[in-house]
Structure 1
Amino acid sequence: MAKGGLTRWERTLERWESALVSRTHHDEPVELLDALRRECDSRAVVFSESRVVVPNAYEVELDARVHEELVRQTGGDVGEALTDDLARHGERMGYEWVGPLTLRVSPTDRPSGDPYRVNSTPMPHVRADAFPAEG
């Protein structure tokens, strides 16, 4: 942590988050970070007061135009920025991941009317390279 405040990476994430939330698609704000957090929260399983387990493998499909814009804004680190935000959210909430946290971001040309789609799965031994390569 940098003296006197946030690290350069944290400031970059905050700027990126602000840009993402302010981005519009069909006159509605894109709330991808909130959607990821909601996906995590909605899939939480409470085992005890001190143990809440959440899925660890997330897949985010972005409208191709939104994906291109986010890659430009983040310098290509879209997945890393989203993973960092989700990890901080889990830490704040006291969640326990089923296994190593992984997040895959991919563009899609599928006309769904939504700028993004988020899915999660509990995968105890998933590795970041377990997802199929983007094609």
Structure 2
Amino acid sequence: MGVLQRFERRLEGLVGVAFARVFKGKVHPAEIAKALEREATEQKVVFGEGRVMVPNRYVVRLGPVDHAYLSEWQAELSATMAEMVHEHVDAEGWSTFGKIQVSLARDDDLPTGVFHVDSRVDAEPGSAASPAQPPGAGRRAAVAGPPGGRAGAL
């Protein structure tokens, strides 16, 4: 079973069928999960002897409507998505400079069905010294849903 399938099963366990009904036509957590994996993959940087580093901080910016629907489960979603990104990073054999964290933020400029993923490398206190921020760190990935509310990478 893939990382995304396990993520979707965990979501079902967290909030049940009502959760799926709430997100009809809006951003769905599974779309965010795919965008987070894609962001980690696109932002990887190879250092020296093949060591691959990826961002460890991800902020998912959502429009007011989507943020309102997701905020009820924000703690659970953030933790589950961070775990999913961690599993993806481990499966690929990549590293980070610290614990992976995912947070949700409201962005009043985004319409319903559109979200952005921002990522960066953030060395935690006590972790290995961070080199200069890798090229592309802090990049924004825009994701917009076509008609019907499905999101896709731009």
User: In structure 2, how many angstroms separate the alpha carbons of the residues matched to 1:69 and 1:112?
Assistant: 13
User: In structure 2, how many angstroms separate the alpha carbons of the residues matched to 1:58 and 1:67?
Assistant: 16
Q: Which residue pairs with 1:79 in the alignment? A: 78
Query: Of 10, 14, 26, which aligns to 1:13?
Result: 10
Matched, 1:102 2:129: no
Asked whether the equivalents of residues 74 and 104 of structure 2 are also in contact (C-alpha less than 8 Å), the reply is no
User: Which structure 2 residue ranges, 5 or more long, are not aligned?
Assistant: 1-5, 126-154
Residues 57 and 86 from structure 1, CA distance in 2 versus in 1: closer, same or farther, beyond 3 angstroms? same
Asked whether the equivalents of residues 46 and 52 of structure 2 are also in contact (C-alpha less than 8 Å), the reply is yes
Offset at residue 84 of structure 1 (A):
1.4
Aligned length: 114
Offset at residue 113 of structure 1 (A):
6.6
Q: Which residue pairs with 2:62 in the alignment? A: 62
Residues 117 and 10 from structure 1, CA distance in 2 versus in 1: closer, same or farther, beyond 3 angstroms? closer
Asked whether the equivalents of residues 66 and 113 of structure 2 are also in contact (C-alpha less than 8 Å), the reply is no
Structure with the largest fraction of strand? 1
User: In structure 2, how many angstroms separate the alpha carbons of the residues matched to 1:52 and 1:77?
Assistant: 28
Aligned to 1:99, the other structure's residue is in SS state: coil
User: Which structure 1 residue ranges, 5 or more long, are not aligned?
Assistant: 1-8, 127-135
* CA RMSD across the alignment: 3.6
User: In structure 2, how many angstroms separate the alpha carbons of the residues matched to 1:89 and 1:80?
Assistant: 14
Q: Identity over aligned residues, as a percent?
A: 23
Q: Which residue pairs with 1:42 in the alignment? A: 42
Q: Which amino acid aligns with 1:39?
A: E
TM-score by length of 1: 0.65
Q: Which residue pairs with 1:4 in the alignment? A: none
Offset at residue 41 of structure 1 (A):
0.4
TM-score by length of 2: 0.58
- Runs of at least 4 residues of structure 1 off by over 4 A? 9-12
Residues 57 and 11 from structure 1, CA distance in 2 versus in 1: closer, same or farther, beyond 3 angstroms? closer
Q: Which amino acid aligns with 1:81?
A: T
Show CA shifts across 1:42-65 (max 9, x none).
11112334x211111111111222
